[in-house]
Structure 1
Amino acid sequence: MSFRSYKRLIYYLIAFLAIFLFLVFNLLEFELRSEEGEIETLSDAFWYSIVTLTTVGYGDMVPTSTGGRAIGYILIFLSLGVYGLLIGQISTIMANIKEHKKLGMYGTNFEDHIVVIGWTHFGKTVIDQLIKAGRKVAIVTRNRDNIDLLKELYQNKNLFVLYSDYENFELLEKVNIQKSNTVFINLEDDTEKLVYILNLKKEYSGLNFIVTLENSNLKQTFISAGVTHAISRNEIASRLLASYMFEPDVALYSEEILAYPTNDEEYDMKQFKVLEKNPYNGQEYNKVFFELKKNENVILMGLVRVEEGKRTAYKNPADNFKIRTGDYLIMLMNQKTQRSIKRVFNLEEGV
């Protein structure tokens, strides 16, 4: 309900209250003049008026004067209008609450989630993988028709949808953008993406941005603008296509591990952070490699170490390379072993 509608409702209530009080006091005055009057106090007048107005009609007291009965008639007819007004307003309020909730106007308490600005067919393939991986996703769309489609596609508690104009940065508070893990800018044009990121950074600092580019030559421009990851869709597709031409088995394997596994026959590469109490913390790489394979049926592919804000990937470190707290182990696993690794590492996958 809009502010104007609330204001109008308040005016109606004030007007009704004024009319009601006018009738109650006049009813009492008429009845006090009647010798047979049963309504003798202001409390009696209020009781009779409320009982009549609500159509309860106990009949324990009735007006006997001509003026009192006239007011009784007015109260009876008013009761019809009051019920109609109340039912109509309550229905309107409930419908507005439902609509506002559907449009995301009440916000979300998601944290460490993925915010997706824009909805496209390509974005759908990305969101499909995120939802399968159990990640929380907040989608911002400016197309009203997308709301019903998204609700139908993803009947999932990990999805939140906000209907908003992209340039309304204040409304992005509804998706809890400042506590998000990553913001995926999923707009159509590369230039539009760059301008949007620069404007968004003025409102919210410290966000991690990721974009896909149509023009791979703009990658360095986006990195310089503060984007964490700028990926060329054509570049990825061309590499995979070339791999299919001369090493098709490797290409098939690469395609499989890029997607989230849906059963224990499919494998995926995942990264898990090493906490202080992790059993592999402080151990040498080669020892961890063999223990993971023996105990969990997981293949350790390498690790990433974060030093002074810079991430360094060690794809095949020396055998005596020691694992530290805060390192990310990159491992190949299926769904069954993933559940086991979660228990061992005592946390979810990812950054």
Structure 2
Amino acid sequence: MAKGRLRRRLSRINQPLADRPVHSLVDRVQIPQDIPSPWLRITKRIVIALAVLCAVVLIVYIDRDGYRDNQGDGLSLLDCFYYATVSLSTTGYGDITPVTAGARLVNVLVITPLRVAFLIVLIGTTVETLTTESRQAFKIQQWRNKVRNHTVVIGYGTKGRTAVAAMVGDEIAPGDIVVVDEDTAALERAKSAGLVTVRGTATDSEVLRLAGAQHAKTIIVAANRDDTAVLVTLTARELAPNAKIIAAVRESDNEHLLKQSGADSTVVTSETAGRLLGIAVQTPSVVAMMEDLLTPDAGFAIAEREVTTKEVGSSPRHQTDIVLGVVRGNKLIRVDDAEVDALELGDRLLYIRSNEER
């Protein structure tokens, strides 16, 4: 008997995260939700309580002939309000009672449920606290059932936050972005930004599976260490063979390791920052323009679009837009390359877009 209980306990511990009951994931997965102001919630509860009170008053007043006070008199409208108040608050002084069978039946079938509803409204904060976990578990289950083609951001430090800000500025919905991190403070910042968060280390395939990486369209690896980025990229590629993986690396010597691990694109953060610092010495305005191009929600931005049928056969250098390059067959070709002297159907143009065009 003891061995059987131990075996069941161990099986629950070793159960993959994605296969565990939803209520056990509440501490790991957080779904953003709109929280109304306290005054709005209080006002709403007061209105509901008054509506219930008025409903009881109306019911008692309509059937007032079925009630008597302790002196045997009938009920006035004020008596109905008094009876409804003491009845809903469960005070019940007993000075007004239903005497006919119909009045008592109405008390049992109508007024008693309204009394329960009235009490729930009064203690709504406690009830809401008790049901928060259940509602969160329900939202997690809904999210897991429908999450597809989203973006998973691994690491919500400076690089991760900046990447998310750029995506949101490029009109990607925050609800389509999932952040994976171990740091509680980082997850709180991501949650306050309206992002879905998953707590855990991304080197664990079960944590990535919980974030829906197997169904993701894009995975961004923004780890703080290069060795962690390589391991995360390898784990993510094994779990999501069709996802586009973009990984950041601090040192260029480690860039080939990311590509070998399955990264489609890599960004060398230290060298990129170094180049911008060097350029800023002689031409700081160039750096300012680069910053403008990399900020999608202001000024100019680098964008990508498909070639139209009217543009097929023409040169990318003779377009209305300022074209920087042509993407053909997942390969980026510079605009001055003879290979793209004539645009083809299916090509994509990398061009400079004004923020006013959005």
Same fold at TM > 0.5? yes
Q: Does 1:269 align with 2:323?
A: no
Greater relative contact order: 1 or 2 (C-alpha under 8 angstroms, separation 6 or more)? 2
User: For residues 1-351 of structure 1, what are the structure 2 equivalents within 5 Å?
Assistant: 91=128, 94-100=131-137, 106-107=142-143, 109-136=146-173, 137-152=177-192, 154-155=193-194, 159-262=195-298, 266-274=299-307, 278-285=308-315, 289-290=317-318, 292-293=319-320, 298-306=321-329, 310-318=330-338, 321-337=341-357, 339=358
Distance 1:209 1:320, change over 3 A: closer
CA distance in 1 between counterparts of 2:251 and 2:338 reads: 38
Distance 1:218 1:281, change over 3 A: same
Distance 1:59 1:213, change over 3 A: farther
AA aligned to 2:341 is F
Aligned residues: 247
Q: What CA deviation, in whole Å up to 9, does each residue of 1:249-305 have, x standing for no partner? A: 32322222122132xxx111111123xxx343523115xx54x42xxxx32222111
Q: CA RMSD in A?
A: 3.7
Q: What CA deviation, in whole Å up to 9, does each residue of 1:25-59 have, x standing for no partner? A: xxxxxxxxxxxxxxxxxxxxxxxxxxxxxx9x988
CA distance in 2 between counterparts of 1:304 and 1:143 reads: 38
Distance 1:300 1:186, change over 3 A: closer
Distance 1:93 1:58, change over 3 A: farther
Distance 1:169 1:100, change over 3 A: farther
8 A contact 1:284–1:319 mirrored in 2: no
Gap runs ≥5 in structure 2:
1-21, 25-89, 91-96, 102-115
- Provide the TM-score with structure 2 as the length reference: 0.58
AA aligned to 2:247 is V
CA distance in 2 between counterparts of 1:201 and 1:229 reads: 13
1:132 positional shift: 1.0
Q: SS at the partner of 1:280?
A: helix
8 A contact 2:155–2:223 mirrored in 1: yes
1:194 positional shift: 1.3
8 A contact 1:141–1:165 mirrored in 2: yes
Q: SS at the partner of 1:148?
A: helix
Q: What CA deviation, in whole Å up to 9, does each residue of 1:89-115 have, x standing for no partner? A: 96565221344478x565354544321
Flag the structure with larger Rg.
Answer: 1
CA distance in 2 between counterparts of 1:215 and 1:319 reads: 32
- Provide the TM-score with structure 1 as the length reference: 0.59
Distance 1:101 1:250, change over 3 A: farther
After alignment, is 311-320 or 239-248 more displaced? 311-320
